[in-house]
Chains A and B, each alone.
Chain A
């Protein structure tokens, strides 16, 4: 009995050791390229960092960098609020749009491959400089809409808090849609997992296609909703043309800002991003959980 037990333990240990050796590279990489830099960045954020010829000099300033970003800097808070609003506006649009496209592509029709190719194209070509050039030429606004005088008039009438999101929506409409590629795929693969016989049973019981959508299709997409929403928030937040990221990047090299200040802003930005992810999660997780049970 005792021997068996010892054997069992060594087997478990052996398995664990082999497992660790497979992920050893990751453990080293995570410590070197994520954990350590993250801690180091946090340390910088509490210091005034000066780059000198023989290295960097740190002067402890407590939370001064944070208070400066929050209370003194006129740009940072405004940019972060703009980012938060844009993200909150974009996520539902991306979700609804990619769901509609996925529902279309889930049908059987001719030229399906062609349309699938079109809707997935932006994933391949979306990069910061390309988007910047296209936006500069006004090629990403919904064609024509923003130039109609009546629409411009309507926007001018709106209160300021509403005007910015609406304007953003009109000028970057296609850009928002361009962020839907991977999400379309995720919806599509969830749709294909739904058992066809459920639809048949519903049709025999007299359910219309409309009812089948609300009662069968939509609930079975709730997990995909959550995954997609989180993915959208993260891609939008990491996109290199994001104004906050650019501001932080420019401050890193600025004489007035410096590495310490940029680090503090990076952490504040991270906190806002987590907050947005939390909101999205609270909003969608309950549905997803209900569905899974």
Chain B
């Protein structure tokens, strides 16, 4: 009887605190509690944004309404859609982020391949300078570029972003070059040597052997590049000012654009700019990225391990 109770107690204890081989219930509960708590804090701004964007003007004034709006109100979205000039800015944003990303990814793979596969003088210097391009703040190089673009009449045109990407100096190109460098380093040399004996040229070897072997690196680089270009506002606001307008650029002059469409003196009190409309605009701004993220999230999270972004 006593041993049985003892056994039960032991069993209970191991269930609660875990044993060497499996974690206990207590640990699991603690883990989930912490994860949910941190997850909530993490998502708090997003939840706040989404809930606020659905509030009608009367809900905003009502102090009782905190997290659950009294009605499903999409008027804010209609206004924000018009203020952001959504179809136009969305198309521009897609164009401005996808085209340089495609070029940047391909050029970065060329450079990474050259660095990983060939011995030549000054290679370490080049690697060092690539790191330096990552460190140098953009405002240390941006003014002469802007003046040069202005002289060439390229200021405000998408070429101002495409040209640097084409020459491996796009936004955060250094990271992508290093990703490709890492992934080509680990490629076995045997295949290339066989192809070379068969008389294939270097470019052909790169295109038919190296590129297919590094598909994960290409996908990861491309989607990170798109996201970073999309969210970049310092360079775009300087290079594209007065020309095309991206979605984040339009968001940063939201107040002004709103007052152009709905002059403060003429509209009734419910159509004045309020935080709900601003939050709707912000949400419209990140919505395409959210869609992309949920479609491709496997690539964002998992393949970073495979491509060795850590740079060790």
Residues on A lying within 8 angstroms of B by beta carbon are 12, 15-23, 25-30, 32-34, 36-38, 40-41, 44, 55-56, 101, 104, 107, 109, 115-130, 132-134, 136-137, 139-140, 142-143, 173-174, 177-178, 182, 185-186, 188-190, 192, 203, 223-224, 227, 234, 237-238, 240, 245, 248-249, 252, 259, 262-263, 266-267, 269-270, 273-274, 277
Contacts and interface: CB of A to CB of B under 8 A. Distances in A.
Nearest to B292: A124
Interface stretch (B8-16, B130-138, B211-219, B265-273): B130-138
| Contact residues on B (Cβ < 8 Å of other chain), bracket | 35 or more
- Secondary structure of the A side of the interface? helix
A281 to B, nearest CB: 12
Given A19-B117, A30-B129, A143-B41, A127 B35 contact: no
Given A15-B118, A139-B45, A128 B227 contact: no
B220 to A, nearest CB: 11
A270 B140 contact: yes
Nearest to A241: B233
Contacts of A277: 135
Secondary structure at the B interface, as helix, strand, loop or mixed, is: helix
A240 B238 CA distance: 12
A133 B110 contact: no
B140 A266 contact: yes
Contacts of B304: 185, 189
A40 B139 CA distance: 12
A240 B49 CA distance: 21
B234 A240 contact: yes
A8 B222 CA distance: 39
A26 to B, nearest CB: 4
Interface string B120-148: 11010010011001111111111111010
A144 B231 CA distance: 29
B42 interface: yes
A120 B234 contact: no
Given A124-B300, A262-B143, A16 B118 contact: yes
Most B CB contacts (10 A, CB to CB) among A18, A22, A56, A132 go to A22
Contacts of B111: 22-23, 25-26
B166 interface: yes
A23 B234 contact: no
Contacts of A245: 137, 139, 234
A111 to B, nearest CB: 8
